[in-house]
Amino acid sequence: SGVGKSTLTNQLLGDNRQAVQTVRTDDSRGRHTTTQRELFPLPSGGLLIDTPGMRELQLWQTETGLTHTFADIEEIAQQCRFRDCQHETEPGCMVQAAIDEGIISRKRWRSYQKLQREQQYTASRHDYKAQLEEKRKWKRIHKEIRKRSR
């Protein structure tokens, strides 16, 4: 919310069709203005949907997207000493070596990790077995917490 979608829409339309507000002075952030989705035909012939702010967009079919987008990381990871390398502190981790040498930026590595976590989360939400295992895991954790707090 408040990131300038309606301002961008107005720019693309070449007209002030969507209501916008000024940026807040105390924190320089935008304000939520749009309350409904609306489809606009663009002068260039395309179509644009302006939507209210969304909390999140979930990733679908990320496995191929990750492989293509982060092909450099995937390729370097294949050279790690251990097949199940988590790329954290394992000896012979080529990914960590590439980060240390500046071949892979830390920011790019964090983006890759974030998208991997998102991919795993999305897959687990759509995989009944994974959901059950996650439920069992948290049940064990809560039992252990209750046991320790007595």
pLDDT of 141 strictly over 60: yes
Alpha carbon distance 20, 94 (integer Å):
49
pLDDT tens digit string along 2-48?
667 777 888 888 888 777 777 767 776 666 566 677 788 888 888 88
Alpha carbon distance 118, 87 (integer Å):
18
First to last CA, the chain: 44
Nearest of 50, 31, 30 to residue 40 by alpha carbon: 50
pTM over 0.75: no
CA 84 vs. chain centroid, Å, equals 24
pLDDT tens digit string along 50-86?
777 655 555 555 566 778 889 999 999 999 999 999 9
Q: Which domains does the chain have, with CATH numbers?
A: 5-50 (no CATH), 62-148 (1.10.40.50)
Residue 134, classified by CB atoms within 10 Å of its CB into exposed (0-12), middle (13-18) or buried (19+), is: middle
Distances (CA, A) of 112 to 4, 65, 102, 121, 123: 26, 11, 16, 14, 16
pLDDT of residue 34: 63
pLDDT of 97 strictly over 80: yes
pLDDT of residue 54: 58
Nearest of 6, 31, 28 to residue 19 by alpha carbon: 6
What proportion of the chain, given as a percentage, has pLDDT over 90? Answer: 37
Alpha carbon distance 69, 85 (integer Å):
20
pLDDT tens digit string along 18-31?
777 777 677 766 66
Helices (H), the chain: 5-13, 62-69, 71-77, 94-100, 106-125, 128-148
